[in-house]
Structures are given as C-alpha cells and as structure tokens.
Amino acid sequence: MCNGVLSTLRDLEIEGRLAKVAKLTIVAGKTNQAPRPAQGKRTLLVGACTARFKDYGDFVNGCPPNNVDISSAITGKHGQGLFVHSPGDGKQP
C-alpha cells in the first residue's frame, strides 16, 4: 500500500472524517488487475502505479501522491495540485 494513502487515512481519522472512506474503493500500489466496480462505491485510484487504470474512476497522480490531493479526492473537495478527476464509470474504454 502506498505510504501517501496510509498517512492520509491517519490524518482523516484524527480529523474525524474517516467515515468518508466507507463509500470508496481505494486502489493504490502496484497491481496488474483493473479494479472491479463495487455497487454503491466510488473508485479512487491513487498514485503513479495505478495510472494505467485511471479511466476506471477518480485518479490522484504522483509518486508519492500528495496527501492534500488524496484527502481532497476522498472528501470530494477537489483542490489544486496534482489531483486529476476522471469521471470514469468503472467500464473499460
């Protein structure tokens, strides 16, 4: 798992905003398989290792990805920086 994701999750827990994660499927780190959409959940792909699957959901670029960008993607408050919002629908293009 990506250290950027882990530290962001710790930050959200401290801030009392960790519940936002329950509505997400988070994909981070090296993987060879495209994420499968989960019913009722938004897919968030984090880091350069997941870039090839960015059409499958929202995507945060970077290696390591910026914690502010990850937090913005999780909470839906898209800030400026490396965050890239892909309106993917979970289907392969």
**Average pLDDT of the chain, as a whole number:** 82
- Higher model confidence: residue 76 or residue 57? 57
In degrees, rounded to 5, the angle at the alpha carbon of residue 51 between the alpha carbons of residues 49 and 55 is 145
Asked if residue 78 belongs to a domain, the reply is: yes
Domain count, the chain: 1
Asked if residue 93 belongs to a domain, the reply is: no
Distance linking the first and last C-alpha atoms of the chain = 26
pTM exceeds cut of 0.85: no
Q: How far is CA 8 from the centre of its chain?
A: 11
Q: Give the pLDDT of residue 93.
A: 38
In degrees, rounded to 5, the angle at the alpha carbon of residue 43 between the alpha carbons of residues 24 and 58 is 120
Asked if residue 74 belongs to a domain, the reply is: yes
8 lies in which domain range? 3-31+39-84
Asked if residue 21 belongs to a domain, the reply is: yes
Q: Give the pLDDT of residue 50.
A: 92
H/E stretch holding 43? strand 42-46
